[in-house]
Structure 1
Amino acid sequence: MNPQDLKLIVQDKYGRIAQKGGSCCGETGCCEGDVDYSVFNDDYSGQEGYNKEADLGLGCGLPTEYAGIKDGDHVLDLGSGAGNDCFVARTQAGDNGKVTGLDFTDEMIHKANENLKKTGFRNIEFVKGDIEEMPLPDASFDVVISNCVLNLVPDKQKAFSEIFRVLKPMGHFSISDVVIKGKLPEG
């Protein structure tokens, strides 16, 4: 499968999830096979800044827990979805910080902005864009986070080059994702 086709499949699937309001596993035609993806999802409910409406059950960890986000940091969340990690990161970055969520799915950007309207926060923004070609300036983020998204990016080298490009000198990233050692069987 070529990379553009893969991106279109991801956009379609996550667009339907955003419209539905959560993971559609268990429904015919959404998740492939009989895989239960909820096994990867961590519980955010105890995290300061948690926004239940922004939690679509799509993450596989708590990158904000290990990101070392400080008051005043400018944070970028790759594949921000409905904004779950952005709202937690904003609590850590405080009023002096800024959080930018990047997603390439229109429906997710819309859902995130709807969730943002309910918070009253003025230092979060959601931007539409591709992780392999971020529409963001060089050296503009103290911290980059990502939650179970980079496994979906076809060109990992481009993605990590872009992460490096947008990080400020001495910036850092915290990624939670699924990784496999070896090869998956075709089935």
Structure 2
Amino acid sequence: MNTQEQLKEVVKQKYSEIALQDKETNQSSCCGSGCCSTEVYNIMSDDYSQLEGYDPDADLGLGCGLPTRFAKIKKGDVVIDLGSGAGNDAFIARYETGETGKVIGIDFTPAMIERARKNAEARGFHNVEFRQGDIEQMPVTSNLADVIVSNCVLNLVPNKDGVLKEIFRVLKPGGHFSISDIVLEGDLPKEIREAAEMYAGCVSGAIQKQVYLELIASNGFENITVQKDKPIAIPDDILSQYLSPEQLVTFKQSGTGISSVTVYAEKPLEKKACCGPDCCD
């Protein structure tokens, strides 16, 4: 599984299956990927139930943070949710932006889009729209969104630089994002990096935390802030599917860290045209 298109196809197939499952089934697998554990392994340990707008029917237990909690959404904002799944974060964003705002969810899995649309229609949410598309080529116009949120999705995308460029394009000048994602400190064993199931399970597609933050900065974003950083522990019975007992011991002693981070960043305001020799820095 070494080409971008192959990896994306793995993710699409896995998340098509997940769209037909309930939250309890997904919570007993690694990010819903189906690599079952005798320990209930749910990479998303944050509790959504206390957030206004939360709808348990739209929560498949696939996230790794609470980006909408940190996203500073205001009434009337246009919000885009990348990898919107069954609509969980989109519906919370809808509560925050109110009837005068708009929420657009983007997901490239048709089964997820169908489930999210049914959830929205059943609840009469007329200002929430779900569009099928690739977040590397978002089906939205430039300078549209006030806020972009995403929950445990960029690690599933091989071309993270391309997604960040699209986020920059789609945000209004002065707009911002809050994204929860999986990052690393140290190197994963080759066997885990190459395992398709672990990729669809949000782990082997993760990159180094410092590289992740540098990639955001290199795409022109400002005021980059890590809003939350929490460690992720993968149970031994999952790791042992990919590693020998000796490799497992070596991995656990290596100091490799897997974390969920929620990162905030802003697209700069457009600079005003210079009107004379005294008005420019």
What secondary structure is seen at the aligned counterpart in 2 of 1:60? coil
Q: Which structure 2 residues correspond to residues 33-182 of structure 1 after superposition, within 5 A?
A: 34=37, 37-182=41-186
Q: Secondary structure at the match of 1:178?
A: strand
Gap regions ≥5 residues in structure 2:
192-281
Question: Is contact 2:43-2:62 (8 Å) kept?
Answer: no
Point out where structure 1 has 5 or more consecutive residues left out of the alignment. none
Give me the identity figure in percent.
Answer: 53
Q: Structure 1 runs of 4+ off > 2 angstroms?
A: 24-27, 30-37
The answer on whether the counterparts of 1:24 and 1:31 sit within 8 Å (CA) in structure 2 is no
Aligned residue pairs, count? 186
8 Å Cα contact 2:70/2:178 also seen in 1: yes
Give the superposition deviation at 1:128. 0.3
SS in 2 for 1:176: strand
Change (3 A) 1:26 1:78: closer
| Residue type at the aligned position of 2:132 | K
| CA distance in structure 1 between the aligned counterparts of 2:141 and 2:157, rounded to whole angstroms | 20
2:215 corresponds in structure 1 to none
Aligned partners of 1:41 and 1:58 also within 8 Å: no
Q: Distance in 2 between matches of 1:99 and 1:130?
A: 17
Q: Which residue of 2 aligns with 1:14?
A: 15
Contact 2:29 2:36 in 1 (8 A): no
What is the rounded CA distance, in whole Å, between the counterparts of 2:72 and 2:80 in structure 1?
13
> 1:136 offset after TM fit, Å?
0.9
Counterpart of 1:121 in structure 2: which amino acid?
A: F
More off after superposition, 16-25 vs 141-150? 16-25
TM-score, with structure 1 as normaliser: 0.94
> Which has the larger displacement, 4-13 or 31-40?
31-40
1:183 paired residue among 178, 182, 187: 187
Q: Say which structure, 1 or 2, has more relative contact order (CA 8 Å, 6+ apart).
A: 1
TM-score, normalising length: structure 2: 0.63
